[in-house]
């Protein structure tokens, strides 16, 4: 996904409080199976469930990696993973870096690798597709850039999608985790995770002032 | 309340569909004890509960009056109602017009009237205060203007207030009645009853396009 370049000026996000922690929010419901609607001490919050979950996972992965405490899911049987010549070159130079994220990958002959464990976050997702996307997109960059790219891609693939119905407890848990993020207002791609409509803004819109 | 002069241009109400009937809305919850949050087939609706209820009552009173079918609440005991000399003059010339709205009022001596029945809509509200407000404000105007003024004042005093907590069934009933209004988008004073954030507008705000 391309970096977000910002909404048009004068848009409703202009009331967004920049780079501040979130107040405690009360979940009202889900809209379009994509947005969580919540009430705060000062008005309404519309939360993009995918962007918000990306932010949560991005911070969680970064923290686990820095503490060398990635949650890992061992596979019952090792799985072979075949790659293109170009992907092979990158994976050969990177599979030890990937171990820091919870990937247990070993060379296993001609353009084939053996995967024994995966980050717990993505083990039940299309991790093979994600790994191929990673290898194709992350061929350049130094190690720190590369690590950030891996973190973003894992967060994006691990996050709940737009269009996915969430239960009340799932929404409350997601909002609770977002409240605890260091920078809750944007996803790792830079898109907003939420729109805030303040009480005074609502009064103005409704001609109550 | 003064007539509403419209929100600033470029505001979030610009996406409001003018003068059209409402789609079926699903209530998500209440915000600030003042707004009902609902989901429609195309995005989010924020409904000002007081303005919406004013619109509903305004149309209901107009209909009942035109059909000479006002819901009336007889009082167990007639109540005396004392007025100022100025109010007396107006009430003397108007109490028969007020009968069309469900007020049963008779002259009862010096600056005193006897009230035997009230519009059902306001019988449990501060109807005496409302009646005094009516007499003070509606001294001018022809009969049709006057009747509209009475209708607006009754709708305003009968409507649920901002700041009043509503149950889920109450919110659903209010929204259902608003859906059936002829002109559901504005209150009788001309203020908007709702703000609509369309799905495409939300996508744009969240950088999803």
Q: What are the pLDDT digits (tens) for A150-188?
A: 999 999 999 999 999 999 999 999 999 999 999 999 999
Supply the pLDDT for residue B145.
84
Q: What are the pLDDT digits (tens) for B66-115?
A: 999 999 999 999 999 999 999 999 999 888 889 999 999 999 988 999 99
Determine the Cα–Cα distance for residues B134 and B153; give it in Å rounded to an integer.
7
Domains, chain B, with CATH or none: 12-60+166-205 (3.30.1540.20), 71-158 (3.30.1370.100)
Residue keyed to tokens 């990306």: A54
Determine the Cα–Cα distance for residues A121 and B63; give it in Å rounded to an integer.
60
Q: Residue A184 CA to chain centroid, in angstroms? A: 12
Q: Residue B15 CA to chain centroid, in angstroms? A: 24
Q: Are A47 and A178 in contact (CB under 8 A)?
A: yes
pLDDT confidence of A29, banded at 50, 70, 90?
very high
Q: What are the pLDDT digits (tens) for A73-114?
A: 999 999 999 999 999 999 998 888 899 999 999 999 889 999
Tokens of A116: 């024994």
pLDDT above 70: percentage of residues in chain A? 89
Supply the pLDDT for residue B83.
94
Q: Are B53 and B176 in contact (CB under 8 A)?
A: no
Which residues of chain B are within 8 Å of residue A207 when distances are taken between CB atoms? 4-7, 191-192
Those residues whose C-beta lies under 8 Å from the C-beta of residue A163, and which sit 6 or more positions away, are A32, A33, A34
Q: Is B143 exposed, middle or buried (0-12, 13-18, 19+ CB in 10 A)?
A: exposed
Tokens of B202: 């939300």
Determine the Cα–Cα distance for residues B10 and B71; give it in Å rounded to an integer.
43
Supply the pLDDT for residue A144.
73
Tokens of B18: 């003018």
Highest mean pLDDT among A13-17, A67-71, A123-127, B113-117: B113-117
Q: What is the DSSP string of B62-99?
A: HHHHHTT---EEEEEEEEEEE--HHHHHHHHHHHHHHH
Buried b (16+ CB within 10 A) or exposed e, B19-55: eeebeebebbbbbbebbbbbbbebbbbbbbbbbbbbb
Q: Residue B10 region, left (φ>0) first, then alpha (ψ -120 to 50), else beta?
A: left
Supply the pLDDT for residue B11.
42
**CA distances (Å), origin A16, targets A9, A19, A185, B44:** 12, 9, 9, 19
Which of B12, B31, B162 is nearest residue A12 as measured by Cβ atoms?
A: B12
pLDDT at B34 exceeding the cut of 70: yes
Shortest distance, CA B205 to any CA of chain A (angstroms) = 6
Subunit contact A162:B208, Cβ cutoff 8 A:
yes
Average pLDDT over residues A41-53: 97
pLDDT above 90: percentage of residues in chain A? 74
Which residues of chain B are within 8 Å of residue A162 when distances are taken between CB atoms? 208
Q: What are the pLDDT digits (tens) for A131-157?
A: 998 998 877 666 778 899 999 999 999
Q: Is B113 exposed, middle or buried (0-12, 13-18, 19+ CB in 10 A)?
A: buried
ipTM summary value? 0.82
Subunit contact A51:B206, Cβ cutoff 8 A:
yes
A177 membership: H or E segment, kind and range: helix A168-179
Highest mean pLDDT among A117-126, B28-37, B87-96: B28-37
Q: What are the pLDDT digits (tens) for B132-189?
A: 989 988 776 667 788 999 999 999 999 999 999 999 999 999 999 999 999 999 999 9
Supply the pLDDT for residue B130.
93
Subunit contact A205:B13, Cβ cutoff 8 A:
yes
Which residues of chain B are within 8 Å of residue A195 when distances are taken between CB atoms? 202, 205-206
Q: Are A45 and A199 in contact (CB under 8 A)?
A: no
Supply the pLDDT for residue B142.
67
């Amino acid at each position: 996904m391309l970096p977000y370049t910002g909404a048009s000026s004068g848009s409703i996000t202009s009331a967004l409080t920049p780079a501040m922690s979130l107040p405690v929010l009360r979940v009202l419901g889900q809209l379009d199976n994509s947005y969580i609607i919540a009430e705060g001490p000062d008005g309404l919050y519309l939360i993009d469930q995918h962007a918000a979950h990306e932010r949560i996972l991005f911070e969680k992965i970064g923290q686990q990696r820095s503490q060398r405490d990635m949650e890992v899911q061992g596979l019952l049987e090792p799985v072979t993973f075949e790659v293109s010549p170009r992907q092979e070159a990158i994976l050969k130079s990177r599979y030890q870096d990937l171990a820091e994220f919870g990937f247990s990958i070993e060379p296993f002959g001609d353009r084939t690798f053996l995967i024994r464990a995966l980050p717990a976050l993505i083990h039940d997702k299309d991790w093979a597709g994600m790994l191929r996307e990673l290898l194709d997109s992350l061929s350049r960059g130094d190690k720190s850039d590369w690590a950030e790219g891996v973190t973003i891609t894992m967060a994006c693939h691990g996050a709940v999608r737009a269009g996915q119905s969430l239960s009340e407890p799932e929404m409350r848990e997601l909002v609770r985790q977002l409240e605890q993020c260091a920078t809750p207002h944007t996803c790792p791609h830079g898109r907003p995770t939420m729109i805030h409509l303040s009480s005074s803004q609502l009064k103005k819109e409704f001609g109550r002032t």
